[in-house]
């Protein structure tokens, strides 16, 4: 044995010696193409094994390199299996690279590091950037809709709105239920500044593996990684799409005749006395149409990326401009990004990832506008010869179009987000990483209200109460910065079959924000004069300024261990210190284990390409609360008067605070199975989870003797549970190099329950007219509808006479019947029942993709079912002269046409009941895209390496049961989720776009 | 390997140092003071702030409306509407909770009973907070004791209302620590005797340490105010000697006299030096004013009692129409008693002209027959905050000299000092343009009723008189068309509060 090794050592030495001695260089050429499609691959790294030398393929996939005749070349390309081929003296070496169909080799980002997908023990989902950027939407989260099991996305048609994300259900009511976002290591709550085209991947930590983000991981974590340059010639990409958005499904309001008929019942005499007045016009005003339009949008992206041996760069610019579908609403965004890597030496790397964004928005107060759209009389013109119809003179609401035109709320958001980092590898298996992250925002708002009177200058006819006697200006500057300094050490080493990755680190954070604002009246209407100094300083002038500050200090640690790629163990811990609490420190952890069954000899080579069983359990937190909620504070400047008119300033200490307030705690169990069959053409995952939230913030009633003004305080009392299963399946196949397709589907089931209020108050959520509509009560899902049970319509006087008295609304023929649930012989608030919630039992999506020669087609569907919507707009009537919905106008009870389903009248005193509750189930074609790529041979002549054109439509059609315009409701107030009151209309988009690469 | 470390030892050291420094350097990094807020610790260390805490107690008088209440509509419900002096008023069905009280059928779940309870404990909490911080504050002794005296005077007033409304209540003599708040000591009722003793201790201190009228800001508690309140408390405790002595001290201080024109007592502005805010007769009065945010007035006090449109409507009315002087009260006045017109706005068939010239239309456009004049605040002749009617700056008179004279007269009768009784009683009658009468309990009690009508005193007074002369309450309510039972002497402990105490608060008998 000893002798042998000596001999082989000698031979090796000899081999090297001879190699060096006799090596001759040859000029080698070749082309690298995709094994499946035959497409030439650009930017493939071609390296000479054992040296640092290498080149990259050009736009035609060609390379040329001078190599020793006996060298071995390596060909590597992201997304493809690397190949090593000996030169063997050849002068031409064409290579076919196979796409990495094996998902297990994919890398996922798990927070403060990456892991091979195959080694992951938690529930982590990844979405490629191109899946996001192909959709004509502003935010990456909106594009995520229907793509990931367990992630529910609710978006709005309003430009620049941040979609609501619920990862595995609603886990908090008062501390926020949105996930944490991490953009290239920057922790943030808002990613509207991110250009979708800059994203290389989006990873979602759904289970306790988010514990590496400790006190902010409870609602899950969305990690976004932006693009980096690749060594090689500069690649210039231009991606653009232009199109328009329209209201997907316009609400149908009663027309003139329906309104007049209704008014004769609701407001008898109104029409006969006033109809001939010059207020009204013949025909019908559709107020929903009057305030809306088609909104055009454009989205242009240009990026340059590339690099040399020592450095790479990615620079991109984006211009986005969208007109909202509500008149006057507009949003523009410019963003710039520079992501650079510089290798100072083999061991030292410097990098930066920085984005600058400027968002400019003319906002609309959709609540105020739609509140009036639903109610405005259709017999009044919206605008006629430059003068507005005077709805308020008709004892009705204000003219919503006038509201829009007479307000200019301009908001400017400037943001710098990014980091600079140093990575130091003294040895290959050890990495020191230090990153300084910054997220700074500088915002400016000017909200101007024009002066107008209720006279003939503004209106077709004077009168009414819609007027702004004085112009008004509100100006606010606010800025905030959050910095975060990450220092980590990663140890990554294999000993025989044992592979360890160990991470340790410290994270320090500080966040400060402040605002200053003022308001004045009588500021001139000229936009150049919209400054506080031009307003009246003496009347109704206000100024305000305040700020907040908090810090965090965290220690993190994680160990990943695998044995022979079969047995996986993960443990992570984060000790989080937060200035928000009296008890500063808390520890969060996760433990996970995985068993790659397909690596076992008894399975290997069988039908499974991949089969992995995994499980994780851990504890996470949520500290997303007001920083000084636990500190007893005084309220100064409470007035009192002495000496017949001298103001004295009193101070009071009155709010009872829980000085021992703590973070909310989530304990989550996840069990999962990953599998791949048939050459990994069929892959999928199955997950079961049980997520228990305790110490959730809620209001607890205090005894009156403590003197708290509202007799309640916020404390950690409630517990919630989200329990469910997720299932995702994907099929992909290449039938020929020119024909491939894929199908994917995912479905999630979630059950949300308030498991204990523990002395806390049941929280009420409301709707129009300040009514209680939802209640968050023991044993029910969060924000369950809590309303009367309507059982039909009184058809005749005998039924009314037989009914129990109703203390909320007078019983009458044509009125709603309600069930006397508690059998006390009267209908009142005690007869309310729980009637479902907006949280879907099931939600999911499926998507199809086909590549056929130069064409590509993809379709993404999204839907949910098992949830309910409260049609609050139907119940938003505030006065007898308000308009109604067309559907209701047709269906309602009249003496001539009795109805057994819809009452004769809906007034502001109609109590919330199951009558207003409808099914929220829907299925929507979220995105349909058809693309055509000009064959390489043609585009090449123009010096273009890739030219693709596409047509795309977002939200092309929706199958729904809900009578309102959209079953997707964007309500940021968790307790009002599901109440369709004054939501910004959901839009449908048609767009044309190009992807060009030079 | 070794070589690597040597080569890079410098860098390694730097890395290690970076990591280590972030571990250690930030010991106080997480101690962040709240931004833009004043903490209670900062208040405790700042004498100005501690002083402002006392002013902050007075500010609690502005609460009310349909929220926790001390002196506004709901206290009016429990003191006037509950009595034989007033009917609920407004439209017949409006405000069912007030109707319960008016009909002597108040239930433990009645919202008014709860709001008045919580309102008074808000006042007590503010007083206790101020006392807590004052005790630690660095002041000269006289200033400090005067401030403590003000806080204790106000606390005594709040407890005096509570003990008269509910009997024994939980006794909070300080701000309980969070850990103590749930102790039986706070969650159970002290006896009415204990509460009275506590009130006396507070008032003794106040009498001993408060400055005289004129030596402090107008509107702050004074020594004589404390004496007047203590005299009244002793009257309720049937300690007539003390009641006499203290009321006599107020009288002999020479700092007060009766307003000549009874109807001017409740006006904002004096007429020819007579009446108006903080007039010669006023001993303690809630101060109001006009500030930028229109927050310096009692919420809904005036507007809730203002004349209300009804019938044919057609006018911009003055209020919600609650607290209508009752027929029983109208009948109590002797002929020629000027106080009747000073107390009651009587709606005339063809319109009613008020002192400021405002004309209420004819009876067919008004909801009720009578309204309280004492709660009226003129929209034209008196100040308001930019048309805000919710918080009109009406200064409610809490203690006035006529009350002290009648306390003095009653106490004098009880201790056999007929001469003093006669003097005090007839001073009040003379001002009312009535002939003198011989002093007797009946005469004083009649005088108290008409003199103090609609001043939130009658319910407590009739209950007190009933304890002196059993049967008086039943008779009075019979005359008022209501049925009195002994349980009505106290209001129920609010059920919400019983529940929150885990049942440790025990209900009053009969509820």
CATH code of the domain containing B437: 1.25.40.390
- Does residue B7 belong to any structural domain of this protein? no
Report yes or no: A642 at the B interface, CB cutoff 8 Å.
yes
Q: CA-CA distance, A225 to A353, in Å (whole number)? A: 10
Chain A residues touching residue B63 (CB < 8 angstroms)? 709
Q: How far is A552 from chain B (nearest CA, A)?
A: 6
Asked if pLDDT for residue B60 goes beyond 70, the answer is yes
Cβ A932 vs Cβ A952: under 8 Å = no
Number of compact structural domains in chain A: 1
Using an 8 Å CB-CB cutoff, list chain B residues near A634: 37-40, 42-43, 49, 53
Question: Cβ of A480 under 8 Å from any chain B Cβ?
Answer: no
Tell me which DSSP letter residue A528 carries: G
Domain assignment present for residue B211? The answer is yes
Nearest to B43 among A555, A634, A711 (CB): A634
Same domain for B212 and B116, yes or no, is yes
The structure tokens 């984005």 sit at: A355
Total count of domains within chain B: 2
Helix H segments across A810-858?
none
Helix, coil or strand: residue A573? strand
Judge: A547–B36 Cβ closer than 8 Å, yes or no.
yes
Is the Cβ pair A704, B11 closer than 8 Å? no
Given CA atoms B344, B349, B354, B359 in this order, what sign does their dihedral have?
positive
Distance, C-alpha A739 to centroid of its chain:
34
Q: In chain B, what residues touch A556 (CB-CB under 8 Å)?
A: none
In a domain, A72, yes or no: yes
CA distances from A436 to A420, A441, B127 (A): 6, 17, 50
Q: Write out the H or E segment, with its range, that includes residue A666.
A: strand A664-677
User: Which pLDDT tens digit goes with each residue over B13-38?
Assistant: 655 555 555 555 455 788 888 888 88
pLDDT in tens, B437-487: 999 999 999 999 999 999 999 999 999 999 999 999 999 999 999 999 999
Q: Is A650 on the interface with B (CB under 8 A)?
A: yes
Answer yes or no: are the C-beta atoms of A264 and A377 closer than 8 Å: no
B386 touches chain A (CB under 8 A): no
Q: Which residues contact A57 (CB under 8 A, 6 or more apart)?
A: A31, A32, A40, A41, A42, A43, A44, A46, A63, A232
Residue B85 lies in a domain: yes
CATH code for the domain in which residue A80 is found: 2.60.40.1120
Least Cα separation, residue A672 to chain B (angstroms) = 36
Fill in the DSSP letter of residue A892. B
Give a yes or no: residue A41 inside a domain: yes
The answer to whether the CB atoms of B26 and A508 lie below 8 A apart is yes
What pLDDT is stored for residue B23 in this prediction? 53
Same domain, yes or no, for B325 and B199? Answer: no
**Among A877, A869, A863, A962, residue whose Cα is nearest residue A251:** A962
Q: What is the pLDDT of residue A183?
A: 94
| Residue A190: half-sphere exposure toward Cβ, Cα within 13 Å | 15
Taking every pair of C-alpha atoms in chain A, what is the biggest distance, in angstroms?
118
B277 and B310 both lie in a single domain = no
| Alpha carbon distances (Å) from A80 to A32, A75, A434 | 12, 9, 31
B293 to chain A: which residues are within 8 Å by CB? 639
**Quick check: A643 contacting B, CB < 8 Å?**
yes
Q: Which domain holds residue B338?
A: 301-372
Residues 6+ apart with CB under 8 A from B362: B348, B349, B350, B351
Q: What is the DSSP letter of A760?
A: B
Report the gap between the CA of A678 and the closest CA in chain B (Å): 46
B207 and B139 part of one domain: yes
Nearest CA-CA partner of A754 in A778, A783, A722: A778
Q: How far is CA A844 from CA A149, A681, A758, in A?
A: 6, 21, 34
Q: How far is it, in rounded angstroms, from Cα A515 to Cα A548? A: 9
Q: Which residue has the tokens 């479902």?
A: A836
pLDDT of residue B38: 84
* Nearest residue in B to A538, CA atom: B292
Residue B378 lies in a domain: no
Chain A residues within 8 A of B187 when measuring between CB atoms: 703, 705
* Residue A1 in contact with partner chain B when CB distance is under 8 A: no
What is the three-class DSSP state of A502? Answer: strand
Categorize the per-residue pLDDT at B8 as very low, low, confident or very high, splitting at 50, 70 and 90: low
Closest CA to A806 of A828, A791, A787, A829: A828
pLDDT > 90 fraction of chain B, expressed in percent and rounded: 81
- Whether residue A50 lies inside any domain: the answer is yes
Query: What interface predicted TM-score (ipTM) does this complex get?
Result: 0.93
Asked if A294 reaches chain B (Cβ–Cβ under 8 Å), the answer is no
For residue A486, the distance in angstroms to the closest alpha carbon of chain B comes to: 9
- pLDDT one-digit tens code per residue, A64-75: 888 888 888 888
Give residue B20's pLDDT.
Answer: 55
| B412 falls within a domain | yes
- Is B22 within 8 Å of chain A by CB? yes
- Cβ-based contacts of A646 with chain B (< 8 Å): 217
Q: Which of residues 348-367 of A touch B (CB under 8 A)?
A: 348
d(CA A93, CA A381) in angstroms, rounded, equals: 76
Minimum CA–CA partner of A507 in chain B: B22
Contact A775, A987 (CB under 8 A): no
Q: Residues B257, B259, B262, B267: is their CA dihedral positive or negative?
A: negative
Which value, in Å, is the radius of gyration of the alpha carbons in chain B?
27
Helix and strand counts by DSSP (H, E) for chain A: 11, 51
Contact A426 B4 (CB under 8 A): yes
Record: contact B126-A639, CB cut-off 8 A:
no
Within this chain, do residues B102 and B214 fall inside the same structural domain, yes or no?
A: yes
Question: For position A275, what pLDDT does the model report?
Answer: 58
How far are the Cα atoms of A320, A471, A710, A875 from residue A770, in angstroms, in the given order?
A: 38, 29, 18, 11
Mutate to test the interface with B, among A487, A512, A626, A639 (most CBs of B within 10 A): A639
Shortest CA gap B469–chain A (Å)? 34
pLDDT for the residue A131? 86
Of the CA atoms within 13 Å of residue A9, those in its CB half-sphere come to: 6
**pLDDT band, very low/low/confident/very high, at B361 (cuts 50, 70, 90):** very high
Q: Which of B1, B36, B278 sits opposite A644 (nearest CB)?
A: B278
Token digits for A644? 């017949």
Within this chain, do residues B269 and B336 fall inside the same structural domain, yes or no? no
- Name the token pair of A330: 């507009």
List all residues of chain A from 691 to 730 with a beta carbon under 8 Å from chain B. 701-709, 711
* CB pair distance less than 8 Å for B126 and A347: no
Taking CB atoms and an 8 Å limit, are B55 and A640 in contact across chains?
yes
Grouping H, G, I as helix, E, B as strand and the rest as coil, residue B481 is coil
The answer to whether the Cβ–Cβ distance between A701 and B43 falls below 8 Å is no
Which 8-state DSSP code applies to residue A168? S
Instruction: Report the DSSP beta bridge partners of residue A211.
Output: none
d(C-alpha B243, C-alpha B231), whole Å: 4
Contacts of residue B350, defined as CB under 8 A and 6 or more positions apart, other chains included, come to B362
A595 in any annotated domain: no
- Give the span between the Cα atoms of B444 and B421, in whole angstroms: 9
Residue from the list A553, A643, A649 with its beta carbon closest to the beta carbon of B29: A553
Q: Which residues of A touch B220 (CB under 8 A)?
A: 642
For residue A930, give every residue at least 6 positions away whose Cβ sits within 8 Å of its Cβ, in sequence order, or none. A855, A856, A857, A950, A951, A952
CB contact under 8 A, A551 and B30: yes
Q: At what angle do helices B141-166 and B192-209 cross, to 10 degrees?
A: 150
Residue B162 lies in a domain: yes
Beta carbons of A424 and B57 less than 8 Å apart:
no
Based on the domain organization, do B409 and B272 belong to the same domain? Answer: yes
Q: Please report whether residue A603 resides in a domain.
A: no
Q: Which of A640, A700, A826 to mutate to test the interface with B (most CBs of B within 10 A)?
A: A640
Contact criterion met (CB < 8 Å) for A651 and B53? yes
Same domain, B199 and B337: no
| Inter-chain residue contact A506 with B19, CB threshold 8 Å | yes
> What is the spatial distance between Cα B133 and Cα A595, in angstroms, rounded to a whole number?
63
- On whether any CB of chain B is under 8 Å from the CB of A577, the answer is yes
- Cα–Cα distance between B489 and B495 in angstroms, integer? 18
**Residues A431/A489, Cβ–Cβ less than 8 Å:** yes
pLDDT in tens, B131-164: 999 988 878 888 999 999 999 999 999 999 999 9
For chain A, which ranges sit under pLDDT 70? 1-23, 36-37, 78-79, 99-105, 273-277, 767-770
Q: In the sheet that A772-776 helps form, which strands lie side by side, from edge to edge?
A: A763-766, A772-776, A784-787, A833-837
Query: Is some CB atom of chain A closer than 8 A to the CB atom of B187?
Result: yes
In sequence order, which residues have a C-beta less than 8 Å from that of residue B191 and are 6 or more positions away?
Answer: B168
For residue A80, what are the domain limits? 21-97
Same domain, B240 and B98: yes
In a domain, A430, yes or no: no
A884 Cβ neighbours under 8 A, 6+ residues apart: A253, A254, A258, A259, A262, A874, A877, A892, A906
Interface of A with B in 555-574 (CB under 8 A): 555
Widest distance between CA atoms in chain B: 118
Tokens 């997480």, residue located? B30
State the smallest CA–CA distance between residue A292 and chain B in angstroms.
Answer: 38
Nearest-CB residue to A659 (from B15, B178, B288) = B178
DSSP state of A214: G
Cβ proximity of B299 and B390 under 8 Å:
yes
- A553 close contact with B: CB closer than 8 A: yes
Q: Is A434 on the interface with B (CB under 8 A)?
A: yes
Report the 3 state secondary structure along A915-967: HHEEECCEEEEEEEEEEEECCHHHHHHCCCCEEEEEEEEECCCEEECCCCCCC
């Amino acid at each position: 044995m000893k002798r042998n090794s000596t001999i082989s050592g000698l031979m090796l030495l000899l081999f090297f010696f001879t190699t060096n001695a006799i090596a001759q260089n040859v000029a080698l050429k070749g082309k690298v193409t995709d094994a499946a499609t035959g497409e030439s691959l650009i930017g493939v790294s071609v390296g000479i094994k054992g040296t640092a030398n290498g080149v990259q393929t050009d736009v035609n996939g060609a390379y040329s390199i001078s190599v020793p005749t006996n060298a071995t070349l390596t060909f590597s390309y992201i997304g493809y299996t690397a190949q090593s081929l000996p030169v063997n003296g050849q002068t031409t070496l064409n290579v076919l690279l196979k796409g990495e169909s094996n998902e297990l080799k994919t890398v996922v980002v798990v927070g403060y590091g990456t892991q091979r997908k195959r080694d992951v023990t938690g529930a982590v989902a990844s979405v490629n950037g191109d899946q996001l950027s192909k959709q004509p939407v502003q935010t990456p989260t909106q594009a995520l809709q229907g793509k990931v099991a367990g992630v529910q996305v609710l978006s709005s048609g309003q430009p620049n709105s941040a979609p609501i994300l619920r990862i595995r259900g609603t886990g908090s009511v008062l501390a926020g239920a949105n996930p944490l976002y991490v953009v290239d290591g920057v922790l943030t709550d808002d990613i509207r500044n991110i250009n979708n085209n800059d994203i290389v991947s989006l990873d979602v930590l759904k289970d306790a593996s988010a514990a590496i983000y400790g006190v902010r991981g409870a609602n899950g974590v969305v990690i976004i990684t932006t693009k980096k340059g690749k060594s090689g010639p500069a690649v210039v990409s231009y991606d653009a799409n232009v199109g328009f958005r329209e209201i997907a499904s316009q609400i149908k309001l009663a027309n003139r005749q329906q309104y007049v008929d209704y008014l004769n019942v609701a407001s008898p005499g109104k029409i006969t006395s006033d109809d001939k007045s010059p207020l009204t016009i013949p025909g019908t005003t559709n107020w929903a149409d009057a305030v809306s339009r088609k909104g055009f949008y454009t989205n242009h992206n240009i990026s340059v990326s590339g690099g040399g041996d020592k450095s790479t760069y990615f620079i991109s610019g984006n211009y986005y401009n969208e007109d909202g579908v509500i008149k006057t609403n507009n949003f523009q965004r410019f963003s710039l990004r520079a992501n650079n890597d510089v290798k100072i030496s083999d061991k030292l790397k410097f990098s930066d990832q920085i984005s600058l964004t400027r968002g400019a928005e003319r906002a609309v107060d959709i609540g105020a506008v739609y509140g009036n759209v639903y109610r405005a009389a259709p017999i009044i013109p919206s605008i006629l010869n430059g003068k507005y119809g005077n709805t308020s003179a008709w004892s009705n609401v204000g003219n919503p179009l006038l509201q829009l035109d007479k307000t200019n709320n301009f908001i400017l958001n400037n943001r710098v987000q990014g980091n600079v980092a140093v990575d130091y590898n003294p040895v290959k298996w050890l990495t020191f990483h230090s990153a300084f992250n910054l997220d700074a925002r500088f915002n400016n708002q000017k909200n101007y209200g024009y002066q107008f009177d209720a006279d003939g200058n503004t209106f077709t006819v004077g009168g009414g109460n819609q007027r702004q006697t004085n112009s008004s200006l509100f100006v606010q500057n606010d800025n905030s910065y959050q910095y975060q300094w990450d220092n980590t050490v990663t140890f990554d080493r294999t000993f025989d079959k044992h592979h360890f990755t160990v991470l340790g680190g410290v994270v320090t954070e500080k966040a400060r924000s402040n605002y200053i604002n003022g308001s004045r009246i009588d500021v001139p209407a000229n936009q150049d004069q919209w400054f506080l100094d031009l307003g009246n300083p003496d009347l109704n002038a206000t100024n305000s300024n305040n700020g907040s500050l908090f810090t965090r200090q965290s220690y993190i640690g994680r160990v990943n261990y695998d044995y022979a790629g079969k047995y996986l163990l993960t443990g992570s811990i984060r000790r989080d210190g937060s200035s928000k609490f009296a008890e500063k420190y808390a520890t969060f952890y996760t433990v996970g284990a995985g068993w790659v069954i397909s690596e076992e000899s008894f399975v290997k080579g069988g039908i499974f390409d991949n089969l992995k069983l995994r499980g994780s359990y851990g504890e996470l937190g949520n500290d997303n609360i007001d920083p000084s909620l636990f500190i007893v504070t005084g309220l100064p400047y409470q007035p009192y008067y002495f000496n017949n008119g001298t103001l004295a300033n009193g101070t009071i200490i009155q709010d009872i605070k829980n000085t021992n307030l703590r973070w909310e705690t989530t304990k989550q169990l996840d069990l999962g199975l990953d599998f791949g069959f048939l050459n990994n053409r069929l892959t999928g995952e199955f997950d079961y989870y049980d997520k228990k939230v305790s110490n959730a913030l809620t209001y607890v009633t205090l005894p009156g003797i403590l003197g708290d003004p509202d007799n309640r305080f916020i404390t950690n009392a409630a517990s919630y549970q989200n329990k469910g299963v997720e299932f995702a399946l994907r099929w992909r196949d290449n039938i020929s190099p020119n024909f491939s397709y894929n199908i994917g589907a995912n479905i999630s089931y979630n059950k949300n329950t308030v498991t204990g209020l523990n002395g806390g108050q049941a929280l009420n959520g409301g709707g129009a007219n300040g009514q209680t509509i939802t209640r968050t009560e023991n044993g029910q899902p969060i924000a369950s509808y809590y309303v009367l049970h309507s059982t039909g319509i009184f058809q005749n006087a005998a039924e009314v006479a037989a009914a129990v008295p109703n203390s909320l609304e007078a019983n009458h023929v044509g009125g709603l019947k309600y069930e006397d649930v508690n059998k006390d012989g009267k209908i009142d608030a005690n007869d309310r029942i729980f009637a479902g919630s907006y949280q879907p039992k099931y939600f999911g999506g499926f998507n199809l993709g086909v590549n056929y020669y130069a064409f590509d087609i993809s379709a993404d569907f999204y839907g949910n079912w098992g949830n309910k919507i409260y049609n609050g707009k139907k119940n938003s009537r505030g006065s007898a002269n308000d308009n109604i919905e067309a559907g209701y106008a047709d269906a309602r009870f009249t003496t001539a046409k009795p109805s057994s389903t819809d009452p004769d009248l809906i007034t502001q005193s109609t109590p919330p009941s199951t009558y207003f509750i409808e099914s929220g189930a829907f299925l929507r074609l979220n995105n349909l895209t058809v693309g055509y790529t000009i064959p390489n041979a043609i585009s090449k002549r123009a010096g273009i390496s890739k030219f693709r054109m596409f047509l795309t439509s977002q939200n092309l059609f929706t199958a729904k049961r809900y009578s309102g315009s959209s079953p997707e409701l964007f309500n940021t107030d968790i307790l009002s989720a599901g109440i369709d009151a004054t939501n910004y209309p959901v839009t449908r988009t048609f767009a044309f776009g190009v992807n060009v690469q030079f | 390997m070794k070589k690597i470390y040597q080569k890079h030892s410098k860098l390694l050291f730097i890395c290690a140092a970076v990591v280590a420094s972030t571990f250690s350097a930030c010991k106080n990094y997480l101690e962040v003071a709240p931004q833009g807020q004043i903490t209670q610790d900062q208040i405790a260390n700042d004498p100005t702030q501690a002083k402002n805490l006392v002013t902050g107690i007075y500010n609690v008088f502005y609460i009310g409306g349909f929220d926790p209440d001390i002196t506004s509509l709901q206290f009016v419900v429990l003191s006037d509407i509950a009595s034989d002096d007033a009917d609920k008023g407004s439209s017949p069905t409006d405000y069912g909770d007030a109707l319960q009280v008016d009909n002597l059928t108040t239930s433990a779940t009645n919202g008014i009973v709860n709001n008045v309870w919580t309102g008074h404990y808000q006042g007590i909490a503010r007083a206790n907070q101020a006392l807590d911080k004052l005790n630690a504050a660095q002041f000269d002794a006289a200033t400090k004791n005067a401030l403590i005296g003000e806080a204790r005077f106000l606390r005594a007033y709040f407890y005096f209302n509570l003990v008269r409304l509910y009997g024994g209540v939980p006794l909070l003599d300080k701000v309980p620590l969070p850990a103590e708040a749930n102790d039986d000591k706070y969650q159970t009722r002290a006896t009415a005797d204990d509460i009275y003793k506590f009130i006396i201790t507070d008032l003794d201190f106040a009498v001993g340490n408060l400055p005289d009228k004129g030596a402090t800001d107008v509107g702050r508690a004074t020594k004589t105010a404390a004496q007047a309140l203590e005299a009244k408390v002793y009257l309720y405790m049937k300690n007539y000697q003390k009641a006499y002595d203290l009321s006599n001290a107020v009288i002999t201080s020479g700092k007060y006299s009766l307003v000549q024109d009874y109807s001017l007592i409740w006006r904002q502005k004096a007429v020819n030096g007579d009446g108006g805010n903080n007039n010669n007769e006023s001993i303690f009065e809630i101060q109001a004013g006009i500030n930028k945010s229109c927050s310096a007035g009692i919420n809904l006090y005036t507007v809730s009692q203002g004349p209300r449109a009804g019938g044919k409507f057609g006018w911009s009315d003055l209020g919600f129409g609650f607290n209508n002087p009752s027929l029983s009260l109208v009948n109590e006045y002797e002929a020629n008693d000027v106080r009747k017109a000073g107390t009651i706005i009587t709606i005339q068939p063809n319109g009613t002209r008020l002192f400021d010239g405002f004309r209420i239309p004819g009876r067919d456009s008004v909801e009720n027959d009578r309204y309280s004049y004492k709660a009226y605040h003129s929209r034209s002749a008196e100040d308001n905050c930019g048309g805000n009617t919710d918080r009109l700056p009406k200064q409610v008179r809490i203690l006035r000299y006529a009350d002290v004279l009648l306390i003095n007269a009653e106490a004098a009768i009880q201790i056999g000092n007929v001469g003093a009784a006669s003097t005090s009683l007839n001073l009040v009658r003379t001002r009312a343009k009535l002939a003198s009468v011989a002093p007797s309990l009946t005469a004083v009690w009649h005088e108290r009723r008409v003199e103090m009508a609609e001043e939130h005193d009658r319910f407590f007074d009739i209950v007190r008189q009933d304890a002196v002369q059993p049967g008086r309450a039943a008779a009075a309510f019979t005359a008022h068309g209501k049925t009195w039972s002994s349980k009505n002497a106290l209001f129920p402990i609010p059920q919400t509060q019983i529940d929150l105490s885990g049942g440790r608060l025990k209900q009053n008998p009969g509820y």
